Amino acid sequence: MAELLDGKKVSDRILEELKVKLNQSSYKPQLSIILCGDDPASILYTKMKKESGEAIGLKAEIHKLDSTITESEFIKTIEDLNQNSDGIMVQLPLPKHLNTRKIMSFIEPDKDVDGLTETSLRRIVDGDERFASATPKGIIKLLEEYNLSIEGKEITIINRSSIVGKPLALLFLNRGATVTICHSKTKNLLKHTRDADIIVIGVGKPNFLKAEMIKENCVVIDVGTNKTEEGLKGDVDFENVKHKASFITPVPGGVGPVTVAMLLNNIVNKGTKNL
């Protein structure tokens, strides 16, 4: 039976440390969260980030933009926030008429606390992980907190996004792992999953990763969040995989809380000059 990688417990400890750090600092960093549109999930996530930030002593503000906003208006909002915020994050996804990559490029690199700009990605290549993407950074933190070795491991990531898969692969490479990225065009996915010591999956399909797809004692990290009639589910067939894996993240309560904690860690370290 797999041991749970308890993201909530890890997150609570990180947030308590950040709260202490802020209490000892005379400066309270300003986090600006941009929410565009009325997507219920995005509204919920931004609210959670704001509340978590305020709970540790940050100044956090949600800037609500209409879903019909033009790119130039959106960019103007970012440029204004660059002048008076310590950290800026844009809640994704954005409405389809907006060019996400273009918009994100206007965030000043040292204020990109969510680690989603091209500059942040390039920095990871050079080993600078100060503003690595919050989800990949949270996954690494979770493994480290449970003393799970990364160096020399075979790791399969089933996700090639610029938010998770690509930056996470770089973080693993920086720690001496051998990394395979799989996606919708991958042939013989089973070969890659069955060879892996650690699997990270984020495909948006509930119960996609089955027990027969992994080897004994594999570590399984589930980034998926799928709304089903039974509630929130991940991409892993949890009830069956847990009997074969050595460690596994639950959904909810796994990667999600640590992602928020690492976002806030980035802004606290930036704002209190402890990079």
- For residues 48 and 260, the answer to whether their CB atoms sit within 8 Å is yes
- 242 in active site: no
- For residues 66 and 34, the answer to whether their CB atoms sit within 8 Å is no
Q: H or E element: which one contains 99?
A: none
Distance CA 172, CA 86 (A): 28
Distance CA 178, CA 201 (A): 16
266: nearest Cα among 94, 58, 26, 43: 58
- 110 in active site: no
Distance CA 42, CA 8 (A): 20
Q: Which of 6, 114, 197, 235 is catalytic?
A: 114
Distance CA 69, CA 212 (A): 47
Please state the φ and ψ torsions of residue 101, each to the nearest 5 degrees.
Answer: -60, -40
Please return the burial class of 143, using the count of CB atoms within 10 Å of its CB with bins 0-12, 13-18 and 19+. Answer: buried
Q: Which of 6, 30, 49, 235 is catalytic?
A: 49
Distance CA 132, CA 168 (A): 9
- 128 in active site: no
Q: Which of 30, 91, 111, 153 is catalytic?
A: 91
Distance CA 136, CA 124 (A): 11
As annotated, the active-site residues are 49, 91, 114
